[in-house]
Structures are given as C-alpha cells and as structure tokens.
Structure 1
Amino acid sequence: MKKKTTTLLFSLVFIHACIATCDIAFRYSRTQVHTAINEALREAERLHYDDRLNTFQTDTRLYVDPALKAYLLAPISNRKIKSYTLQTLEKKTTYVFQDSLPEATARKMLNEYLLDDILPADAEQINQLFQAQLAQRHISGMAGVFYIHTQTRTQTRAGILPTASAYKTPVYPLDLTHSLQLQGWTDYDLLTLLRYVPVACYGAFFLVLLVGGILLYLPHKKRPKKPAKGLYIDLTHQVLLIDGIQCAISRLDLQILHQLWKKNGECVDRKDIQATCWPQDAQADEKLEAHIQIIRKVLQDFPDYRIVTVKGRGYYLKYMSTADSIPRPDSN
C-alpha cells in the first residue's frame, strides 16, 4: 500500500512537471509569435509605403505641385525634428509633431498624410504583403488587416472577419494626425506555436519524460518475476501462483502455506504455526486442522504439491517434481 501511494504521488508530480514545462514553452512561444506578427504587419505597411512612393515618382499620369513632389522625394537626414514647414505654390504650411522625432519617422508620418489625398493606401495590397510576411516567418493560419480612416469614419477590411481566438495587433497610427490607422489579425494554428518553441524546451521536456520513465520503471524492475513453473507466494499482495496459475486463497491460509514453504520440505511444528496465527486462542489446535484442510483443497488440483502430516509434531510441504526448482522471494 505504501509503494502504491509513493508511486501515485510521484506520478502526480511527474504529470505536473510535464504540464508546467509545456506551459512555460507555449507561453514563450506565444509571445514570440505575437512579436513576429507585429513585425510582419509593420514590414508589410513599410513595403506598401515604399511602393506608393515609387509609383508616385514614376507614374507620369499623377500631377502634383512640383514643390510638394520635390518634398516627398527629398533625401532624409539623421537629425530629429519637432516641426516641418512645407512651401507649395498655393500656400505655406507648418506641421508640428507632438515630440521631436527622427526625420525618417517624421517624414513618413507626414508623407502618409499627404499621400492620402494623392495615392491612398490599398488595404488589399497591404493584406497580400502581410500574408507574404507571415509565410516568411513560418506563421500559418487565417489572417487579415483593417485600414481605418477616422476622419471619414470608414474602416476597410481585407479578408474574412477575425475569429474570437485570433490575435489582434496593436492599432498603428500611420500619419501625424493619427487619422490613418492600421491593424492586423492572425488566427495561427498549433503548428505555428510548435515552430516557435525553443529547442531547449523540447530538450527539457524529453529529459523530464526520460527521468520520469526511468524512475517509474525501476520499482517494477525490482519486483520478483512470477515463475511459469513452481510455487510463488507474495504475502504483500496476497498472491499464490502454482505453475503459473493464480489460486484463490485467504490471507491466513496463505500465511500458513508460506510457513511450510519456507522450510523447503522440513517439518514445521504445530506450536510454531499456532503461535504465529493464534497466539492466545485456546481453540488454536482445531482451527489449524480446519485451515490445513482448506489449503489441501486449494492444492488438490496440483498433485505435485501436498501437505503431509507428521503425527505428534506438525506438517511439511512436499513437492513431487524435485527436478523443478521452487523460487522463493527475497522478502516475504
């Protein structure tokens, strides 16, 4: 009973360790996947922005104020700016940012604001670029984007609506007025999570399985093997096997048979058996006779084994097939 309790407790600890390892691995993997999705959306938006600038530069059908065109295509320095003044043929406009920003970031936000009237963003093209970026990062599953224009109160969806389990990226403002916003979503699958699990977590998980398996196997390995031939008695689990056949027997009868079996054919004194089973019982002699008869009935189907009475002394277990060894447990 004590061994069973220990095994059960160890099994619970082992299962808990496996679950904890998997939980840590999947938490880390989920964080990495979400970061990769965010990066994929930002990269898709950047590629779409560069493509629009290139179209703006090369498409001769687009007529724009020359000063505005020169500004949009002007080189960018590494300085930080707080405001930018744009002089066109029609007017002079100063754009002020909330904080000082690197010129590359500030110019992009201002360009998005100006391009919205000339060459607005295409949600479907952003979605296609987003899908391609996800594929490059080995993220599989359904995905889509939302392009939000708050001034006109419109929201353009590319692809199907997100499911309840989908991960949604933060809403990224694209222009200096925050009126143009972009958000993506991805309902990634389990395979994606498994791809982003670190190799070290797989190693730790298989190490836990290996150690747990070894510790669970060792107690079973130490148990005495049940022979296919001979007499086998296990008092702990109350098991009697005769030539590989399990026999029904009470605990007290098994204890008496075990006393005879341990002597290996030598006579066991009646008083020794009575002192073990009924130390303070006046009817111990009659009870012993009754139990010996019951044991003989258990052995009657196995003629190689029988209990012999030695008058005036006691009993001994006789086995006829002397060529067969009778295995005995180390501790019973």
Structure 2
Amino acid sequence: MGKFTALQAREDAAGAFEQSIVERDTAELPAGELLIRVRYSSLNYKDALSASGNRGVTKHFPHTPGIDAAGVVEASSVAEFNAGDEVIVTGYDLGMNTAGGFSQYIRIPASWAIKRPQGLSLRAAMVLGTAGLTAALCIDKLEQAGVTPDAGPILVTGATGGVGSIAVALLAKLGYTVAASTGKVEQGEFLKQLGAQQIVLRSELQQGVERPMLKEQWAGAVDTVGGDILFNVVKSLRYGGSVACCGLTAGIAFNANVLPFILRGVNLLGVDSVELPLVVKASMWDKLSVQWKLDGLDPLVTEVDLKQLPEAIGQILAGKLVGRVLVRVD
C-alpha cells in the first residue's frame, strides 16, 4: 500500500514528549489479518496520556496513539471480512502498544473489528467512539441492577467530558431524570441542552469526604471521575441504588467504608470497555445504532484533523475540552 501519514508521539533528548505528523510505510505496521484505511478516529483521555508519554498506557515510543478507529478494510486474510467492508475498532491494544487510529492506516487482528451497524455512519460511530460505548455500558449495567426511570434522579459526574456528555444525552433519551455534575459552571446551558434537568457543582460532591454516610439523593449514577467523589456518590445513593464506575480523572483511590453497602444495600458496578468480549461490544453498537441512537450530537462535537490534534491533546490534559473531539483522518 505504500506511504501514509500518522501522528507520532516521541521522546526528545531532554525526556519531554512531543507529537508530530510523520510519513510511514504500511510495511512498518504490526502483523494482523486486517489492513484498514482509517477515515475517522476520536480523542479520548487515554489517548492524551499515551501521547504525553504515560508509560502506564504505552510502554514504547515513538508511538501512534488512538484507541478508536472507523474505516474501510483494504486487505483481509480471513473469510469474515472482505476488502471494502466498513468497520469499527475500539479498545483492546489499539493505540496503547499497537499503532493506533491517529493514522491513515492500521493493521490489526480481525478479532478486534466489528462491521459497521447499518444505523450508524463511520463518522457517527466515531462521534460516539469509546466514550459512547462506555456510556452505553454504564447505563446497561444500571438497567441490569434494576435502576429504572421512575426510581429517581440519576447523577452523572464529569458530565462535560466525552463519556459524561453522552451518558447525559442517553439517559435523557431513555426517560431518566438526569443531574449533571461539572466543575465548569459556564457549561450548565450546554448540559441542559443535552437533557440534564439539574446541574450539580463538583464542589458540592467534594463535601463530606470525612463522613461515613451522606443524605440519600440518587437512584443511580454514572461516575467518570473516581477518587473521593466516587465514594461520596456511593454514600449518597438511595436504598438499593447503584453507581457505574468507569473513570479516574479525580484519582484512583478513595477513602471507603462498608456502611453504605450494608445499611443501604447499594452497588458499585465496575465498567470496562477495553477488553470486553467482541460479542458484547457488538451488541452495544447495535443498541447505539437503533433503539439507543442519538440524534443531534453536533453541539458536543469538535472536529479536528491530524495536524490539529496536538493542540487538542494539550487541551484535554488541561481539562479544557468539552464534549467529544472527532478526528478526521484525511
């Protein structure tokens, strides 16, 4: 296939990391059954960590991040896929230690790809990306735990981020009463447009860390931030309520106790979208393309090309981005 362009993160002589657009050859890509021409990707917090040299995400550099990709199969060595098939790839090792979606081409195992559902374009799939998949998985977990729209308000933390903003929109579409928490006071109107009926300041969720229990408020929650905020949410769940946990921007540790679990019977539900079996991912994408399909997401989308990605990476690391960043791979 020859030459193509990709964003590459590399460490300089001083130990600092920078991102630049480079020319590569498809012969340099890792082994795999599918060679895919990428049309769209998306920027996630994990991509920004990889691009800035976080070795907990990516061990070896130079490296091309991008845990999401949507594109067209150029070559396949398996019967399940043919040249011309449109596919979605999210998670597994893509963009972590395998060259990722911030590139015109990727080569991957066929077991990482699903065919694009008819109800979603490649662009729409990457507006959702891993963030949308994760939001859907959180809501699915809450439903499985018995959280229904008539049970009471559902809290979404980190609501202006990628997962949070899509969770707000999905919950509203499904008939839930949504309370959106954010540290960005100026984004209240944006969150209400997505379907939030109540705005909760992040500072409110940081109060009472030292207390073993808090007043019952939420029938359920989608938590994208972790840290002590997560356990404050647990402590303020209504009897039998559940929180789906999928993020760590506020930290990986919290000061926990067993009282909410044994006095209120609440549930803390872990959500992973990376190593999930492909059949489960496919079922979620089918939902997102039909009964959970979200229209009117353009207000939460910022579209960039590969050359604009380094600036967007800096913004997401600084906590300045709102909604989703769609990456157009020309």
TM-score (normalizing by structure 1): 0.20
Structure richer in helix, relative to its length: 1
Structure richer in strand, relative to its length: 2
More relative contact order in 1 or in 2 (CA 8 Å, sep 6+)? Answer: 2
TM-score (normalizing by structure 2): 0.20
